[in-house]
């Protein structure tokens, strides 16, 4: 047997955390649809499991698989990406503590921090984490956590994870990276010094737009145990079936991501040459401000693209005119999606905050799927020409 450390990502995606079921020989992990487990005697559970909020074998497969893919010690799965981020906050900050957060993180993350955590006395500073000096200036002696996203949504800014980790650690703070956009196939933050990775497994990891889920993976077992304890203490865990769907989705993560990257590269280059697309944001384009960093830090540029068509009216017309690209929020599925962030995914972000990060009313975001890229380009062409 080779150990996980020796195996390649593609092999781990399919096998890590999984053995044929010892009782039936089932090659695929069973869906253990149970809430409780029999005990041999008082306080002596037969298979090590007691109650399914605490542990469920199907969920454990997902957790061990994610830990292997991210190169971490411990994985913990949650019922949504936001439940995962909330669990991380619960184990890293107390009332009176300070958190530094990327200024264009997922809108729901910022909303949770603002609507829930500020009421419990946690203080937040939002900063452009692609600028190391700005990040350094935002840290305080009471900063416990730095939370970043790279690439950001929808501006596709890249932060240097290694530099962010150094800056956070110099003040005794932890660095957490929301790795939803890149996935561990393209970027492994723990190897670059981050302490924690969080995911919305709803997106690329599951990859089929049929599950809401989340996960936390930690570098250190001690922090990982505290996150696992949060599952027991606060709940927020995914169902066995949802866990199983994500496990199944991850088995094709590497092939899907390769195709997402390939298709997005073709479309980004097409858009860059189209007169209606005034500005194309994709880290794979040579004129992207952090293109060199993206090349170093990531093994591919991902499937997300944003581009500006100059006005809200035109953005609405383009987004409503595509045939293959479905007009919808979310991302990371095999099917292509189109949306207008200012009026959809980022409508809860204030106009002032949108302006600060350059999120204009004419910006369109694409989640490029794995259909034939010729069809996708033709679809965008007819939508742009009609606009």
Ligand X SMILES: *Cc1c(COP(=O)(O)O)cnc(C)c1O
List of residues contacting ligand X (CB under 6 A): 80-82, 106, 108-109, 149, 153, 178, 180-181, 200, 202-203, 212, 214
Instruction: Name the closest residue to ligand X (Cβ).
Output: 81
Q: How far is the CB of 84 from ligand X (least distance, A)?
A: 8
Contact 196, 223 (CB under 8 A): yes
By beta-carbon proximity to ligand X, the closer residue of 63 and 149 is 149
Least separation in angstroms between residue 78's CB and ligand X is 8
Nearer residue to ligand X within complex by CB, 82 or 384: 82
| C-alpha–C-alpha distance, residues 132 and 260, integer Å | 30
Give the integer Cα–Cα distance in Å for 84 and 140.
25
Annotated catalytic residue within 53, 191, 248, 356: 53
Q: How far is the CB of 82 from ligand X (least distance, A)?
A: 4
Give the integer Cα–Cα distance in Å for 357 and 18: 43
- Whose Cβ is closer to ligand X: residue 302's or residue 387's? 302
Question: Which is closer to ligand X, CB of 12 or CB of 182?
Answer: 182
DSSP annotation of 6 reads G
DSSP 8-state class, residue 51: B
Quick one: 58 or 179, whose CB is closer to ligand X?
179
Residues 300, 258: Cα–Cα separation, whole Å: 8
Contact 232, 54 (CB under 8 A): yes
51 in catalytic set: no
Concerning whether 203 is annotated as a catalytic residue, the answer is yes
Nearest-approach distance from CB 378 to ligand X, in angstroms: 28
What DSSP element (H or E) covers 144? strand 143-149
**CB-CB contact of 240 with 93 (8 Å):** no
Task: Quote the least distance from Cβ 324 to ligand X, whole Å.
Answer: 22
What's phi and psi for 255, nearest 5 deg? -75, -40
* Beta carbons within 8 Å of 324's beta carbon, 6+ residues apart: 336, 371, 375, 376, 379
Q: Is there a catalytic annotation at residue 142?
A: no
Catalytic status, residue 188: no
Q: Catalytic one among 97, 157, 178, 195?
A: 178
Looking at 59, 90, 144, 203, which residue is catalytic? 203
Cα angle 213, 230, 348; round to 5: 50
Active site residues: 53, 106, 178, 203
């Amino acid at each position: 047997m080779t150990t996980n450390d020796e195996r390649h990502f593609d092999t781990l995606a399919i096998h890590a955390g999984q053995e044929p079921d010892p009782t039936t020989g089932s090659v695929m992990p069973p869906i253990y649809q149970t809430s409780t487990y029999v005990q041999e005697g008082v306080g002596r559970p037969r298979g090590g499991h007691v109650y399914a909020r605490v542990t469920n074998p199907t969920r454990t497969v997902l957790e061990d698989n994610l830990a292997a893919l991210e190169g971490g010690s411990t994985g913990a799965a949650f019922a949504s990406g936001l439940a995962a981020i909330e669990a991380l906050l619960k184990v890293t900050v107390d009332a009176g503590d300070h958190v530094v957060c990327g200024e264009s993180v997922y809108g729901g993350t910022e909303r949770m921090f603002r609507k829930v955590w500020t009421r419990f006395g946690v203080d937040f500073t939002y900063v452009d984490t692609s600028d190391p000096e700005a990040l350094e200036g935002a840290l305080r002696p009471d900063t416990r956590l730095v939370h970043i996203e790279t690439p950001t949504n929808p501006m596709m800014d890249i932060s240097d994870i290694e530099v962010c980790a150094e800056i956070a650690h110099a003040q005794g703070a932890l660095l957490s990276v929301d790795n939803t956009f890149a996935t561990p196939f393209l970027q492994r933050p723990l190897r670059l010094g981050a302490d924690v990775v969080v995911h919305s497994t709803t997106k690329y990891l599951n990859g089929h737009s049929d599950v809401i889920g989340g996960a936390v993976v930690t570098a250190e077992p001690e922090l990982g145990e505290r996150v696992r304890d949060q599952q027991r203490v606060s709940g927020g865990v995914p169902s066995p079936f949802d866990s199983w769907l994500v496990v199944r989705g991850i088995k094709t993560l590497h092939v899907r991501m390769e195709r997402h990257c390939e298709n997005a590269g073709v479309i980004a280059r097409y858009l860059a040459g189209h007169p209606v697309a005034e500005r194309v944001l994709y880290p794979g384009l040579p004129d992207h401000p952090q293109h060199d960093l993206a090349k170093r830090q990531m093994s591919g540029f991902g499937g997300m693209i944003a581009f500006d068509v100059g006005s809200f009216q035109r953005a609405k017309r383009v987004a409503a005119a595509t045939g293959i690209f479905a007009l919808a929020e979310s991302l990371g599925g095999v099917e292509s999606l189109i949306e207008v962030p200012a009026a959809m995914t980022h409508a809860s972000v204030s106009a002032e905050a949108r302006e600060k990060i350059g999120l204009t009313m004419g910006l369109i975001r694409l989640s490029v799927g794995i259909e034939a890229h010729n069809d996708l380009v033709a679809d965008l062409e007819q939508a742009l020409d009609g606009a």
